[in-house]
Amino acid sequence: MSEAVFREATAEFRTQSVPLSHLSLELGHLYMEDFEAGPQRLREHFAEVRVWADAARASVARRTGLKRPRISTCFLIDDYFTRFSTPAELIPLVLKEAERAGLVIDYLARESGCAVADRIEIAESVLHRLVESPPPGSHGGRPTVGQTGWLANGQRTPLTKRAALGEVTGWQPPQETAARNHSVFMDVELWSEQDGRRLWSCPFLAAVWQLARLGLLRHLGEPVLVPRPWNGEDFPQDWDRLPPLLQLNPQAAAFSAYRTCTLMPNRFLAVEDAVRLILDQTQVTPVALQQVAERSAREGLAVPEAVAQRATYVFYEEPVDGRLGKGT
């Protein structure tokens, strides 16, 4: 006699796949001070970005062997840490200066959408997927990342202890878990507390943004940060009335991609180092990873197994006194 098996309907979710471009090319990730500097600052940014965007496109074409690889562009505006101006004033300025440089922004995102989008606590969900890399000799005495809000790539400097006979043990250096000859130790703050609420850090939100661009974010099996088409009407006066992710170009390739390339000023270098550390210790939904692997195999494309290795960057030199210096 067979036994009936009962399952909660909500316990099983089909992981929905997402369309993928070959490359997600980010044309800007700017903050309040960049916009406060006026149109000229944006003009210089896009003029410099255009050079590297052309190089990124050529690189993808060479790697894929395709004359017209699928490439989508995106632009991220910080409305999480500061609220500057309004969408109605700021977005047309961004689009105008990008067009002046010969660039098209396919997708525009609000950074606050990396924290919460469509009532889904995206950042909180990614936090629960962090798996700390235990350093050699660790004994689990330190609270978890979910309690401390700090994530490291190795063994932190141990606390100084006093032995039974009063002898103080000597200082010991931190140690990177996967060090090659010498350690490059990092300890990244994921959030802080402000006015009784959790304020996510820039590196953590940027890691969520990378996961979205790589098509690896899911909630109950459904994709999150899904682009919404913009019908060409005026942008709203309030940032909260603007969807988290807009598709501005109806002919654009898919938002998510096998790889990402981010073009940004070199002051973001430390932040993006922290992003890669976070990605290295994030347990992505296995089915989502499998979907990407199967699709890339059908297209004959090699995609790195490590998620962090799918993200690439170009860091450019910022203007000095309004003028770009010599190339670095």
Three-class SS state of 195: coil
Q: Tell me the DSSP string of 205-233.
A: HHHHHHHHHTT--EETTEESS--EE--SP
Average pLDDT of the segment spanning 123-137:
83
Which of 254, 298, 268 has the alpha carbon at shortest distance from 19? 254
Average pLDDT of the segment spanning 292-307:
95
CA distances from 118 to 16, 71, 153, 217 (A): 17, 26, 32, 14
Q: What is the mean pLDDT of the chain?
A: 87
**Angle in degrees, 0-180, between the axes of helices 202-213 and 269-280, rounded to the nearest 10:** 60
Average pLDDT of the segment spanning 72-96:
93
171 or 87, which is more confident?
87
Spatial distance between the Cα atoms of 124 and 108, rounded to a whole number of angstroms? 22
Average pLDDT of the segment spanning 161-179:
69
Query: Which contiguous run of DSSP H or E holds residue 261?
Result: strand 257-265
Spatial distance between the Cα atoms of 224 and 16, rounded to a whole number of angstroms? 11
Contact 115, 80 (CB under 8 A): yes
What secondary structure, in 3-state letters, does 110-145 show? EHHHHCCECCECHHHHHHCCECCCCCCCCCCCCCCH
Which of 213, 191, 196 has the alpha carbon at shortest distance from 279? 213
| Degrees, nearest 5: CA angle 74-80-83 | 100
What is the reported pLDDT for 290?
96
Spatial distance between the Cα atoms of 244 and 79, rounded to a whole number of angstroms? 10
- pLDDT category at 4 given cuts 50, 70, 90 is very low
Contact 277, 153 (CB under 8 A): yes
The dihedral sign for the CA sequence 107, 111, 117, 120: positive
pLDDT tens across 203-225, in order? Answer: 999 999 999 999 999 999 999 99
- pLDDT category at 2 given cuts 50, 70, 90 is very low
Contact 27, 213 (CB under 8 A): no
Residue 291 gets the label, from left (phi > 0), alpha (psi -120 to 50) or beta, of alpha
Scan for tokens 């006979």, then name that residue: 165
Number of H helices, E strands in the chain: 8, 15
What the block records as the tokens of 65 is 């062997």
Indicate the range of 49-53, 80-84, 280-284, 308-312 predicted with least confidence. 80-84
146 or 282, which is more confident?
282
What the block records as the tokens of 227 is 């682009």
Domain ranges of the chain: 14-128+198-316, 152-189
DSSP state of 66: -
